[in-house]
Amino acid sequence: MTVAHDPDSKFAEYAHPERLVSTEWLAKHLSDPELVVVESDEDVLLYETGHIPGAVKVDWHLDLNDPVTRDYIDGEGFARLMSAKGISRETTVVIYGDKSNWWAAYALWVFTLFGHSDVRLLDGGRAKWIAEERETTKDVADAQPTDYPTVERVDSGIRAFKDDVLDHLGNPLIDVRSPQEYTGERTHMPDYPEEGALRGGHIPGADSVPWARAAAEDGTFKSRADLAAIYQDEKSLSPTDDVIAYCRIGERSSHTWFVLNHLLGFEKVRNYDGSWTEWGNAVRVPIVKGEAPGEVKQA
Amino acid sequence: MSEELPQALQEIAADFAALSTQDRLQLLLEFSEGLPELPTRYTDHPELLEPVPECQSPIFVIAEVTGSGADAEVKIFFSAPPEAPTTRGFAGILNEGLADLTAQQVLDVSMDLPQRLSLGEAVSPLRLNGMGGMLTRIKRQVREKAEL
């Protein structure tokens, strides 16, 4: 049994309303034993400054990434992590975080690679919970270890690698980085130089849709109609298209992946987590500079 | 490689080294919470502070230097928002660790300081880059202002 969905009327418009919960809904369900709240932030100390009561912390650097290979943890590592956080395979997981849920969406995407079925985002994330002056605590609850099964990651459905992107050229690609990164004026996001790349620009044919266009000012997702106006009307994408999204390391594009897949109901969306820190450093991959998507040259 | 750190930084490094990973985060949080407010001469003129783009969150730093040469007095001020506690924590360490040093002593602080705080496992090595960025900017300001 999973926890009932949030019946919020805004969510009902989305393709998969069960993937979002409101702050109000979460406040009422905090003591539900079948629900675990996960905080996932860019800033590794934010959780320690105070978090939603009962929430556990999952850090993208320290918990989800393999410490040696540039990849995610494996099935055994994920099972260990879930057990340590008191999450069983049937648990309803609600993830929230800073920066309009970038890292929360990224964590949700990684949970999805392991096929965890009921994983949702808190609409508006940490900032909305705090702005509404809802309860927070510094207490870290003792999680009861679970018997989470070892499930191997399945990358094929929602994850794209560099070779997949090369094969995909000519099909819809969305670059969710800032306009300056897209044109090649910058090789890194403002304020993030340490994850830079040797070359600037974008993947040929990629359309620029900065991730933040999907978020309202308070960090919540825009309404379905507003999202459709951007991706379907303005960018002429269709829910049956095969789409790959990318950014710098795959965190902002997880946000866009969530929007396309769960909110607009696109059936085949992959996140290229190698993103620009791989493409912009790779030898002999095609790159386009400037504002236009550019031509795909057939090899 | 392992040049000696000034005493205050040495003590901070020893404190971190003695703790478990989880307690290192708590100590970093204490540094974050202990970072002093900017004096009004800077809150009224934020343009006087220099941004540190290596940090993943907005932080600004200014080094005040009284006098010139190796023995010039240095005072450093930081500004970072409460939503960026890791960055504030790094600033708090530098604030305490560089207090009462002369210009030359600040310039002599080893650039591998961030790697000597035993924080890699607690916050990830990538996040430590921000602290190096702060130290680089502080040193450059001190070098210019003390005319060294």
In this prediction the ipTM stands at 0.84
Q: Which two three-digit tokens encode residue B9?
A: 């930084």
**What pLDDT does B125 receive?**
81
Q: What pLDDT does A279 receive? A: 97
pLDDT, residue B1, reads 47
pLDDT band at A188 (very low <50, low <70, confident <90, very high): low
On chain B, the residues whose CB falls within 8 A of the CB of A46 are 83, 85-86
> Domain B7-37+49-146, CATH 3.90.1170.50 — does that match?
no
Across chain B, mean pLDDT equals 91
Could you report the per-residue pLDDT of B119-134, keeping only the tens digit for each?
988 898 878 888 988 9
Would the CB atoms of A42 and B32 count as touching at under 8 Å? no
The three-class DSSP label of residue B12 is helix
Q: What is the average pLDDT across A217-221?
A: 94
> What is the pLDDT confidence band of residue B144, given thresholds at 50, 70 and 90?
very high
* More confident of the two residues A58 and B47: A58
Q: Quick: pLDDT tens for B96-120.
A: 999 999 999 999 999 999 999 999 8
Q: What 3 state SS string does chain A have?
A: CCCCCCCCHHHHCCCCHHHEECHHHHHHHCCCCCEEEEECCCCCCHHHHCECCCCEECCHHHHHECCCCCCECCHHHHHHHHHHCCCCCCCEEEEECCHHHHHHHHHHHHHHHCCCCCEEEECCHHHHHHHCCCCCECCCCCCCCCCCCCCCCCCCCCECCHHHHHHHECECEEECCCHHHHHCCCCCCCCCHHHCCCCCCECCCCEECCHHHHECCCCCECCHHHHHHHHHHHCCCCCCCEEEEECCCCCHHHHHHHHHHHHCCCCEEEEECCHHHHHCCCCCCCCECCCCCCCCCCC
Query: From the candidates A189, A247, A287, A288, which is the catalytic residue?
Result: A247
Q: Is the Cβ of A131 closer than 8 Å to some Cβ of chain B? A: no
State how far the alpha carbon of B36 is from the alpha carbons of A182, B40, B62, B81, in Å. 39, 12, 14, 12
The per-residue pLDDT for range A151-177, each reduced to its tens digit, is 999 999 999 999 999 999 999 999 999
> Which chain A residues are within 8 Å of B87, Cβ to Cβ?
43
Q: Where are the domains of chain B?
A: 7-37+49-146
Secondary structure element (H or E) that encloses residue B64, with its range: strand B60-66
Q: Which pLDDT score, from 0 to 100, does residue A61 have?
A: 87
In angstroms, the CA B29 to CA B16 distance is: 12
Residue A247 is a catalytic residue: yes
Which of A45, A59, A186 is best to mutate for the B interface (most B CBs within 10 A)?
A: A45
**CA Rg, chain B, in Å?**
15
Q: In whole angstroms, what is the distance from residue A258 CA to residue A264 CA?
A: 9
CB contact under 8 A, B86 and A98: no
Of B82, B89, B126, Cβ closest to residue A61:
B126
CA A270-A271-A274 angle, 5° bins: 135
Interface of B with A (CB under 8 A): 25-26, 28-29, 32, 53-58, 82-87, 89, 121-124, 126-127, 129
* Residues of B in Cβ contact (< 8 Å) with A44: 25, 86, 122-124, 127
Q: Give the tens place of pLDDT for each residue, A243-278.
A: 999 999 999 999 999 999 999 999 999 999 999 999
**Shortest CA gap B72–chain A (Å):** 31
The pLDDT of residue B56 is 65
Q: Are A162 and A274 contacting, i.e. CB atoms less than 8 angstroms apart?
A: yes
Count of pairs with CB atoms under 8 A, one residue in A, one in B:
57
Question: Does residue A1 have a pLDDT over 60?
Answer: no
Contact B25 A98 (CB under 8 A): no
Cβ pair B29:A49 closer than 8 A:
yes
pLDDT, mean of residues B38-50: 87
pTM for this model (two decimals) = 0.92
**Residue B21 pLDDT greater than 50, yes or no:** yes
**A44 in B contact zone (CB under 8 Å):** yes
Q: Which amino acid makes up residue A66?
A: D
Q: A105 pLDDT band (50/70/90 cuts)?
A: very high
- Provide, rounded to the nearest whole percent, the portion of chain A with pLDDT above 90: 89
